[in-house]
């Protein structure tokens, strides 16, 4: 299900990229700011979710590490959003699309990881 969703989003991004550029250009500072704002939104959403399901912050850190291991294999292959060279983004629409896909992926990945960790911990406690 997640792969189908990411495939759909990726197709949408590719369609955006294949159309003539109508958007303005962005600076390196704007690219950096967009990434930092996205990371902040993901952090707040995931922290709120962890609190709702009563998971310690250490599990958020664990899930971030898992995600980083998972996504590090995409670097350099132009896979959206993790293989993208953010230093080469100059189009605002492309930046927005990449940031949106990355934010959705990271939020979903981290929430699923936390939910799985909670379920595994509960199962381990029941089997004692």
Where helices occur in the chain by DSSP H, the ranges are: 2-18, 28-52, 57-71, 92-126
Per-residue pLDDT of the chain (128 residues; tens, 9 = 90+): 545 444 544 544 443 444 334 458 999 999 999 999 999 999 999 999 999 999 999 999 999 999 998 887 766 666 666 778 888 888 999 999 999 999 999 999 999 999 999 999 999 999 87
Alpha-carbon torsion angle 50, 52, 54, 59, nearest 10: -10
| Predicted pLDDT of residue 78 | 64
pLDDT given for residue 75 in this prediction? 66
Domain boundaries, the chain: 2-126
Q: Which two tokens stand for residue 109?
A: 């990945």
């Amino acid at each position: 299900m997640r792969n189908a969703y990411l495939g759909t989003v990726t197709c949408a991004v590719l369609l955006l990229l294949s159309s003539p550029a109508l958007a303005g250009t962005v600076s390196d500072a704007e690219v950096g700011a967009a990434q930092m704002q996205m990371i902040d939104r993901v952090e707040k959403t995931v922290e709120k979710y962890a609190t709702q399901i009563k998971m310690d912050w250490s599990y958020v850190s664990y899930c971030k590490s898992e995600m980083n291991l998972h996504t590090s294999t995409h670097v350099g292959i132009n896979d959206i959003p993790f293989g993208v060279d953010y230093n080469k983004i100059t189009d605002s629409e492309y930046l927005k699309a990449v940031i949106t896909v990355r934010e959705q992926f990271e939020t979903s990945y981290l929430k699923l990881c936390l939910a799985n960790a909670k379920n595994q911990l509960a199962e381990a406690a029941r089997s004692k």
